[in-house]
Amino acid sequence: MLLIRLSLRNLLRQKRRNIMLGSAMAIGVCILVVANSFSHGISDILFNKIMRYVTGHVAIRFNEKGGVMREIFRDRARAFEAVKGEPVIEDADEAVGMFARAIGNGRSDNIILVGVDTKKTIGKKALREVEESFRLVEGKWKDVESAEIENPVIISAEKAHYLNVKMNDIVRVRFRNMFGQDQAARLTIVGIMKNDNIFMQPVVFLELPREKELLGYRPYETASLSLKIKDPQKNAAALADRIHARLKPGIAAIYASAAGRDGRKPVVLLGFKSDEESKKRISGILKLSSGSFEKAFRKDGVIIPVPLARSLGVNVGDKVAIRYDRKFEKTPKEASLQVSAVCGSGDYPAQDVVLLNDSGFYDLYYDDLPAGPGPGAKAYAADATWSALAAPEWVLLKRTYNTDDYKKKYQEIARNKWKGTTIDVSTMYETASDILKLESVLNIITISAVLILFFIILLGVVNTLRMTIKERTREIGTVRAIGMQRRDVRDMFLLETFFLTLFSSFTGLIMGFISMRLLSLITFHPVDNPLGMLLVNGHLYFLPTFTGIAGSMLLIMGIAVVTAWFPARRAANLSPAQALGHFT
């Protein structure tokens, strides 16, 4: 207490000098807090106001047959099953978007057509959030679900201006659907939104079911899923891991009946993997009695076992009629397969199994998902060999935890020829960890700049302290002579610096908050300006965080105390006799 009292009183002795030094420190803290809050604000905009709407906090991406644009999963209910019962999930949406060429009145431009689930999104709270993020200057959000209007859409004011269209005008669009077919449609403008965020300017909102229909989805199919969750920074990675574990695929099997010349038999159609390594293994374990592996390994290759071939009365080159119940349609699916090889002996999966090359198998499987084995029938259970060789329901891509690994994963996807659907579960932190890196870089730049400023300030601290020590040398001699230990003398000066920095930091913090408030009152109009991405509704956006502020203050106090250590120690080491004999 004695040292604290002495330090505080000494601090008030040189008011003008300390106020000037403290002001310089406060300005440094103010800059650091503002810059830190600004860079954190940028991350927040990118993550929570852009990425959140583009990919969600966690995304489950489905890509059928390696098609980048073919984001489809044929069993919507099953996809949503994987995210059920997770209390951290606030919202799970189908992320449906497509690039299109829009033709307005005499002008055309590219747009991104984004599907909004009006049934779900336009709740009171969600509507308020949507309206805050995308301010409508004309029209109503509710109108996008109007059944009387042909494809009602909401378009950004900038895009409407460029396309020379206004409310109730028709915009024609050309686009390629999910299966690569060129399509055209007419959109009716029912709303115009004002958006200062440059990323959102090409976005045109259309009701989700209409968008899905345009792209070629059937009602029971889904696009990639976008999940919005509570406290994403804390929960996203763990949730993605849990969903990933739930999406482990089984073996894809079609429970069908096969008909040949001599009758119809129940069969199980399995796909066999047709990569080089699998083909080598299959040719090693199966002994063909007729036909060849060369033909069997073609896209339309079909292998049946000898007993089944006999009971059906078919041989190599003969056709087999296949029929199976579909999961989502009432009528059964019928197809014709041509036998490429008959397997005589070897490690064949089962005597009722028909093996198909996975390319051909998936065409059948995905086009019309089969129903299960049927009441009373046994599901096919593969042994270890065929668990590895049989085509899975889908390919679950491994989890990645940073952008570099994520990019590598997608490079690998691009290199491989995928026959099945790939499923990727990722968080926005790995798909865009570059944004976090950007924040870190901005923080490093800010801290570096402020450290230079602080270096200058700290020279002032050292200089002030040296001057103070010189002025108070006799006093140091006195307190040492009276019986104050060296350590206490040192601590007295350190405490003085600490309190000066503490008060300055708090002043700087208050100045920082005032500056942020004032800066955020300025309105910018960044039409077609990349700076627009840094704005929220035309205003600079700051997001101060406790850790950022506490870190900045601790950094500055730490630096100041460390800097003060050396002159303070010098003061403590003064000989009392010499100090008492000192004249200023």
Partner 1 sequence: MNIIEIRGLKKNYPLGDTIVPALRGVDLEVAEGDFMSIIGPSGSGKTTLLNVIGCIDFATTGSVKVGGHEITSLNDRQITEIRLNKIGFIFQTFNLIPVLNVIENIEFPLLLMKRPAAEARKRADKLIEEVGLKEHAAHRPAELSGGQRQRVAIARALVTNPDIILADEPTANLDSVTGASILELMRRMNEIEKTTFIFSTHDANVLKYARRIVKIKDGLIEKEPALA
The residues of the shown chain that bind partner 1, judged by CB under 8 A, are 1-2, 6, 9-10, 12-13, 474-475, 477-486, 488, 575-577, 580
CB atoms within 10 A of CB 285: 13
Smallest distance from the beta carbon of 475 to partner 1, in angstroms?
7
Q: Which two tokens stand for residue 103?
A: 């033709």
Distance between CA 92 and CA 309 in Å, rounded? 48
CA dist list (Å): 240 to 66, 126, 363, 459: 21, 24, 29, 50
The SS3 call for residue 13 is: coil
Smallest distance from the beta carbon of 480 to partner 1, in angstroms?
7
Q: With contact defined as beta carbons under 8 Å apart, do 339 and 317 qualify?
A: yes
Smallest distance from the beta carbon of 498 to partner 1, in angstroms?
17
Instruction: Closer to partner 1 by CB, 281 or 474: give it.
Output: 474
Q: Which two tokens stand for residue 241?
A: 């891991």
Compute CA 303 distance to the chain's CA centroid, rounded to the nearest angstrom: 43
Instruction: Closer to partner 1 by CB, 270 or 476: give it.
Output: 476
Instruction: Closer to partner 1 by CB, 264 or 570: give it.
Output: 570
Instruction: Closer to partner 1 by CB, 146 or 478: give it.
Output: 478
Smallest distance from the beta carbon of 473 to partner 1, in angstroms?
12
Q: Which two tokens stand for residue 8?
A: 């505080």
Instruction: Closer to partner 1 by CB, 9 or 287: give it.
Output: 9
Instruction: Closer to partner 1 by CB, 478 or 537: give it.
Output: 478
CB atoms within 10 A of CB 424: 24
Smallest distance from the beta carbon of 461 to partner 1, in angstroms?
20
- Give 35's contacts (C-beta < 8 A, 6+ positions apart): 442, 443, 446, 449, 450
Smallest distance from the beta carbon of 573 to partner 1, in angstroms?
9
Smallest distance from the beta carbon of 484 to partner 1, in angstroms?
6
Name the residue type at position 257: S
Instruction: Closer to partner 1 by CB, 68 or 577: give it.
Output: 577
Smallest distance from the beta carbon of 505 to partner 1, in angstroms?
24
Distance between CA 99 and CA 96 in Å, rounded? 11
* β pairing state of 108-116 and 97-103: antiparallel
Smallest distance from the beta carbon of 2 to partner 1, in angstroms?
5
Distance between CA 573 and CA 575 in Å, rounded? 6
Distance between CA 320 and CA 336 in Å, rounded? 6
CB atoms within 10 A of CB 363: 18
Q: Which two tokens stand for residue 183?
A: 């399509």
Name the residue among 584, 566, 557 with its Cα closest to residue 29: 557
Instruction: Closer to partner 1 by CB, 467 or 527: give it.
Output: 467
Distance between CA 291 and CA 303 in Å, rounded? 9
Instruction: Closer to partner 1 by CB, 187 or 571: give it.
Output: 571
Q: Which two tokens stand for residue 48?
A: 């929570």
